[in-house]
Amino acid sequence: MGGAVEHEIVFLDRESVGADVRKANFPHKYTEYQSTWTSEDIAERLKDATIAIINKVPMREEVLKQLPKLKLIAVAATGTDVVDKAYCKANGISVVNIRGYAFNTVPEHVIALMFALRRNLFAYVEDTRNGRWAEVDQFCFFDHPIRDIAGSTMGIVGFGAIGKAVAKRAECLGMKILPFDAFPQEGLVDLETVLKESDVITLHCPLTPETENMIGAKELKMMKPTSILINTARGGLVDEAALAEALKAGTIAGAGFDVLTKEPPKDGNILLDLKMPNFILTPHVAWASREAMQILADQLIDNIEAFVGGNPQNVVE
C-alpha cells in the first residue's frame, strides 16, 4: 500500500492511552473517540475507516463483516484476544500489536504486589488506622504473619519476555525461580511443580481456550497455604469464584490481581466483594507507567506507518 493513498484512521478508545499520540507521516483523516462500547457504535464509527486503532474494544465477526474498507487493526496493547483473528486472516485484515514496552512497568507492579502481600502491609495499615496499635502494651503487634522475600520461591507461569523480566528482578531479591511455559525452552518445570513448591506464583501468559481458567479450585488446593497468587495478565486465566472461596477458606495466604474477566466490572464481580486485606485488586494499571505508555503510543504509530509503507511489523498471525 503506497504512502500516497489517503487513509482514514479511527481510534475507538483514546482514553485508554495516557500519552501523546503523534500524527502519522502519510496523508490521512484521523478521528478519535474517548471510548466505544456497543457493536452498533463500533460499526458506525468504523464504516469508512481503513485503519482502526483499539485497545480493549471487541472486534468480532458480527462487526468486522460490516467493515469492507478496513485493512488494519492496530491494537494499542500486547494482548489481542479482543480481536477475531481468524476472521481477519480470512478476509485480508491485518492485525498488529505492541511489543516490548512493558518490561519495566509490569514487573515492578508484580514486585509491589508481592511485597505488600508477603509482609501483610494492607492488614497492618488497616489495623493501625483502626486504633489497634494504641491497644497493645509493647512497642508493636504481630497480628499478621510477615514473610521474607529472600530465600523464597517464585513460580512464573508464562516464561516469555515479561516473565523473564520478572524473574530477573526476583533473582536480585534472592528468590529461587520455577518457570513454566507451554513452549519448550531450557530450565522449565511442570505446572504441578510450580503450584506445589512456590511461595509466590505470578501469571504471564495470554488468554486462549487452552489457558482459560487454568487456575481453578484443583490448582489452588495444590498451592501452599502460605503462598500467594499474582495475576497481571488476563482475568480469565483464573476461576474467580474458586479464588474467592480459596481466600475465604485460607487455602492460600493471599492474592494480588490487576485484571478481571470482564473489564470494567459494570455488572459487579465476586472479587470486588472481597473485603480482605490479603486480597489486592488494582484496575488493570500494571502496564500503565507514564514511561511505558509513551513507548506504547510511539510504537503504535510506528506500526501503522510500517504497514502503510509496505513493510508491516509486529503482525499477529
**Ordered alpha helix ranges (H), 136-190:** 161-172
Question: Which position has the grid cell 498471525?
Answer: 317
The beta-carbon contacts of 46-49 under 8 Å, at least 24 apart in sequence, are 46/10, 46/12, 46/70, 48/8, 49/8, 49/9, 49/10
Q: Of the residues 45, 109, 118, 234, which is catalytic?
A: 234
Alpha carbon of 15 to those of 12, 34, 77: distances in Å?
A: 9, 5, 13
Between CA 147 and CA 284 the distance in angstroms is 26
Q: Of the residues 61, 192, 263, 291, which is catalytic?
A: 263
Cell of 56: 480493549
Is 169 an annotated catalytic residue?
A: no
> Which among 210, 214, 212, 278 has a CA at the least distance from the CA of 244?
278
Alpha carbon of 115 to those of 120, 186, 230, 241, 278: distances in Å?
A: 8, 28, 11, 25, 12
How many other β-carbons are positioned within 10 Å of the β-carbon of residue 228?
25
Is 28 an annotated catalytic residue?
A: no
Question: Which position has the grid cell 508481592?
Answer: 114
Is 263 an annotated catalytic residue?
A: yes
Q: Of the residues 284, 291, 305, 317, which is catalytic?
A: 284
Q: Active-site positions?
A: 234, 263, 284
